[in-house]
Amino acid sequence: MNYSQTKELLKKYDQEQLLKYYDELDDNSRKLLLKQIEDIDFDVLKYLGNKNSENAKGKITPLDDAVSIDDIEKNREKYTNIGIEAIKEGKVAALLLAGGMGTRLGSDKPKGMYNIGETKDVYIFEMLIRNLMDVVNRTGVYVPLYIMTSEKNNDDTVKFFEEKNYFGYDKDYVDFFVQEMAPATSFDGKIFLEDKDRVSTSPNGNGGWFISFVKSGLCEKAKARGVEYINIFAVDNVCQRMADPCFVGAMLDGGYRSAAKVVSKASPEEKVGVLCLEDGKPSIVEYYELTEDMRYETRDNGELAYKYGVILNYLFNIEDLEKNLENNLTVHIVKKKIQHLDEEGNKVKPETENGYKFETLVLDMIHMMDNCLAYEVVREKEFAPIKNKTGVDSVDSAKALLKLNGVEL
């Protein structure tokens, strides 16, 4: 698109501020800016006028079944053997969601490069690979590992893995792919400029993983390799077990199409999404979407009706994901700190949230599945998310839990 076409387009969406510095730019920067504007999905802006659309859920009811920690203990050997068999047959892959910006942690580098060691270097990526290596050692086969990055952190991430020699993982089993971006806006819906020749964009949320995985060609590659199930996991939970044979086995034994690792909520008020049914299909409601009544509702045995919090560790069946590829995920409008140029063209790194990002979330994919097994894990063993530097879900709390589990830091 040339300048006047671009201007026309921006006028349509009331976003002409993006060309504010056009006249100051050299030819190359002008071209880059026009191209970037052409690539923007302006469609997402329509959600700004309807911020509560994500709350338009169907009828929410409690889950009717789950495998609890006790059930798992009783069946551990059976489930584990089934899982090991599937892993040995190459049917299970792991996929790390590492495209996020980790703004709460506040490091300029990818979150996985954060060093949580005390007496030695222990990087978040390293801990995750170590946990996956346990499965390799147990089954004798490498689990294919796909790592999703974004254009903001891909180069740093790939370079880091190279430098660290993949922390001992076989690099033939590791592939990276880059997720897509969405524009970021001020609270009044104006798309920010990040620089005079650059629109402010951010990764489009972890729900974009499957489309980007397909577009990258890696989905085909995985299927050609015989992969049927993918274990999605977040970068920040340093205690989690991925491609966990017992988890895989429990899903397969029960004939489920998907599965989610869950923890019993620490209290009714805990801020985690809970697994439930929506119009009879599996779904996840965010803590703020649960009504007061639902939050405290109990079953006959006194347990919370909405008891199981999700920890961003899911097993999906590739076949089902492909069937749902055309189904649009809800676009969530999230308040974040967004670096931008102010009115005078100065770069601003805000201390507090100053605008919106547009994200789809992997948790919404659960509702597309016919069923989902809730698989309860021991919180103290498997849930140590690092979102913040200190306090709740922080570097400090994760380190404490790792030490409790015998990890030397």
Q: What is the contact surface with ligand UTP in residues (CB under 6 A)? A: 97-104, 111, 148, 179, 203-206, 234-236, 359, 387
From the number of C-beta atoms within 10 Å of its C-beta (0-12, 13-18, 19+), residue 14 rates as exposed
When the beta carbons of 144 and 203 are compared against ligand UTP, the nearer one is 203
The distance of closest approach from Cβ of residue 150 to ligand UTP in the complex, given in angstroms and rounded to an integer, is: 6
The distance of closest approach from Cβ of residue 28 to ligand UTP in the complex, given in angstroms and rounded to an integer, is: 28
When the beta carbons of 10 and 243 are compared against ligand UTP, the nearer one is 243
Q: Report how far apart, in Å, the C-alpha atoms of 247 and of each of 72, 80, 400 are.
A: 9, 8, 25
What are the residues whose beta carbons fall under 8 Å from the beta carbon of 113, sequence distance 6 or more? 107, 123, 124, 125, 156, 157, 160
Q: Which of 93, 203, 101 is nearest to 146 (CA)?
A: 93
The distance of closest approach from Cβ of residue 242 to ligand UTP in the complex, given in angstroms and rounded to an integer, is: 12
When the beta carbons of 179 and 231 are compared against ligand UTP, the nearer one is 179
The distance of closest approach from Cβ of residue 312 to ligand UTP in the complex, given in angstroms and rounded to an integer, is: 6
Q: Is the dihedral of CA 244, 277, 275, 327 positive or negative?
A: positive
The distance of closest approach from Cβ of residue 96 to ligand UTP in the complex, given in angstroms and rounded to an integer, is: 7
* CA pair distance 123, 309, nearest whole angstrom: 26
When the beta carbons of 80 and 150 are compared against ligand UTP, the nearer one is 150
* CA pair distance 64, 244, nearest whole angstrom: 24
Helix axis angle, 245-253 relative to 69-88, nearest 10°? 100
When the beta carbons of 72 and 284 are compared against ligand UTP, the nearer one is 284
The distance of closest approach from Cβ of residue 406 to ligand UTP in the complex, given in angstroms and rounded to an integer, is: 25
* CA pair distance 305, 326, nearest whole angstrom: 33
Q: Structure tokens of 219?
A: 């989905």
When the beta carbons of 178 and 318 are compared against ligand UTP, the nearer one is 178
* CA pair distance 384, 401, nearest whole angstrom: 7
The distance of closest approach from Cβ of residue 229 to ligand UTP in the complex, given in angstroms and rounded to an integer, is: 19
Q: Beta strands 259-264 and 308-317: pairing type?
A: antiparallel
When the beta carbons of 54 and 85 are compared against ligand UTP, the nearer one is 54
Q: Which string of b and e fits 328-349 if b means at least 16 CB within 10 Å?
A: ebbbbbeebbbbbbeeeeeeee
When the beta carbons of 148 and 277 are compared against ligand UTP, the nearer one is 148
The distance of closest approach from Cβ of residue 100 to ligand UTP in the complex, given in angstroms and rounded to an integer, is: 2
Contact 229, 92 (CB under 8 A): yes
The residue nearest ligand UTP at its CB is 100
Q: What one-letter code names the amino acid at 307?
A: K
